[in-house]
Amino acid sequence: MTRDRVIGGLLLAASVAIVVIYGWLVFLTDYYLLVLKLTGFIAIAGVFGILGWIGYTLATTPPPKPIEEIEKEIEEELKKLESETKSATLQTETQRTSSS
């Protein structure tokens, strides 16, 4: 718990420092135009970078199997398990009757 509080405090202090430095750069220096241009570019590049990544993922990911096919596979597995369980039960019963 103490470590979480330290990390939280550091994040809070860093955030406040960055906001103060950014405000100083924008309002009190001659670099305001460059800072605003960089801020706008980074924001747009971030948003459209994420959008491009989503588009790439959608374009390259194969479509999922239809629900009917998945249900059919599950039913086949259940039937297989039931038959295995029945055969194991029969083997156990035959072993009991032959040993007595």
Give residue-wise pLDDT tens across range 81-100: 888 887 777 777 777 776 65
* Domain assignment present for 85: yes
Q: Count of domains in the chain? A: 1
Q: Is residue 24 part of a domain?
A: no
| 23 found inside a domain | no
On whether residue 77 sits in a domain, the answer given is yes
Q: What band does 54 get if pLDDT is binned at 50, 70 and 90? A: very high
Separation of CA 46 from chain center: 19
34 or 91, higher pLDDT: 34
d(CA 42, CA 11): 21
**What's residue 7's pLDDT?**
97
Kind and range of the H or E element at 85?
Answer: helix 67-99
Mean pLDDT of the chain: 90
Domain span holding position 88: 65-100
Q: Is residue 78 part of a domain?
A: yes
